[in-house]
Amino acid sequence: MGANSSSLELITEPKLPSGGSLEHCCAVEHPPTIPAEIAPSSNHTNAKFRQLNFFILFLTVIKSVLDSENTKSSSDFGNFVLEKDVFGCLPTNLNFNMRKPRIAIIFTGGTIAMKFDVGFGGIVPALSATEILDSVPGIRELADITAVEFGRFPGPHVTPDIMLQLSRTCAELAASPDIDGIIVTHGTDTLEETAFFLDCTTNTEKPIIVIGAMRNSSELDWDGPRNLRDAILVASHEGFRGMGVLVCLSGNINAASEVSKTDTAELSTFASFDFGPIARITNQKITIYRRPHHREFFDVQRLPSFVPLLKCYTGMDGDLVRVCLERGAAGIVIEAFGVGNVTPPIYYALTEAIAKDIPVVLVSRCPVGRIEHVYAYEGAGKHLYDAGVIFADYLNGQKARIKLMVAIGAGYSNEQIRGSFEWAE
């Protein structure tokens, strides 16, 4: 079974020890005594014993692979090693090349690591990496796991600087030949932003899977163990190589660039409105539908300190935009009405930002659909686009802000930023 295989490979032709033979491999010190009245002739006896020994060998191999008490994982190679001479007919040093996938799990906190605390009177971070892993039956049989205790942050405590540290940790692990895939546990409130940040700033073919939980460990329907087990299967699967960062919760696998949290409490809260899921897991079986529509890597050297996100509302004036300019905004993201329109005061305030060479990115406050520069009244999309506003293709406000931050952090010019956001045909 290869490093990225999620199914058990049946060994029908076991490899014999060097210089050995089938008879030697299956030899027993004290073969059973067969009563004379049922003993066949000596010629038939040898043939029957050879058949019997081969059958015992076959059963022993299968039992030793499936029975966890009779197997162990080599610390160097992850090969299954038969520890016991189960039927008295196998050498204990017989190795089979069945290396388990090697998965790094970075624990950052979130509800998946929380429980109810009487003293605090509510749900708080509490569980260690080991405690979370121990809650998932059989998880160590699926993969050789490297656990990284990154932190116990609630989702709202995660900042862009923490995201950048996490990205560098992922990059270091992905560069190791001893790691086949990476999983990041995270609070769901800001999970989509961190996942997209990692997607923009990690450059690896190895799968990076971000997961969380909508129920804490004190609840009977805690979904953390199932999500973590599913993520092991995804991170181990060859089909997800080169897809970038994926989000895996409640059996749905979505691209980090496309997914959003859609419900405050439902287990299946993460969805991709515009394109649908990348894949699904049903009964631990993975079905892949497609690849992400767009990916881009940014070599971030630093992050701007202030990139605000403003949401349009009826009667909005330009004061908030001007306050952002006074505070030294490195860029501004605007959630516009509908297909891409703003109030006239906002339009004029944004032209002031553009005159200062500050990139302004426009998205829609609608959850589905692409913005367009089709309307031509005052404050409408055509005037915004002609003035130099950048139209973000298929991104919500929080994701557009992340992308603008990393683009600025990578030293992109305003024209390069425009090309990065306006990628769709």
Q: Which two tokens stand for residue 117?
A: 């605390």
| Catalytic residue (choose from 71, 111, 202, 269) | 111
| Degrees, nearest 5: CA angle 32-34-36 | 155
CA-based nearest residue to 205, from 235, 227, 228: 235
- Residue-wise over 198-217: b if at least 16 C-beta within 10 A, else e? bbbbbebebbbbbbbbbbbb
Q: Whose CA is closest to 208, among 198, 193, 222, 220?
A: 198
- Is position 111 annotated as part of the catalytic site? yes
DSSP assignment letter at 242: T
391: tokens are: 């139209």
The DSSP-derived string for 84-134 is S-TTS-S-TT-EE--PPPEEEEEEEESGGGEEEETTTTEEEE---HHHHHH
Q: Which of 147, 145, 148 is nearest to 100 (CA)?
A: 145
Distance CA 282, CA 279 (A): 10
How would you class 107 by CB atoms within 10 Å of its CB: exposed for 0-12, middle for 13-18, buried for 19 or more?
Answer: buried
Helix and strand totals (H; E) in the chain = 12, 19
Q: How many CB atoms lie within 10 A of CB 35?
A: 6
Q: Please, which residues have CB within 8 angstroms of residue 317's CB and are 6 or more apart in sequence? A: 343, 345, 346, 349
Residues taking part in catalysis: 111
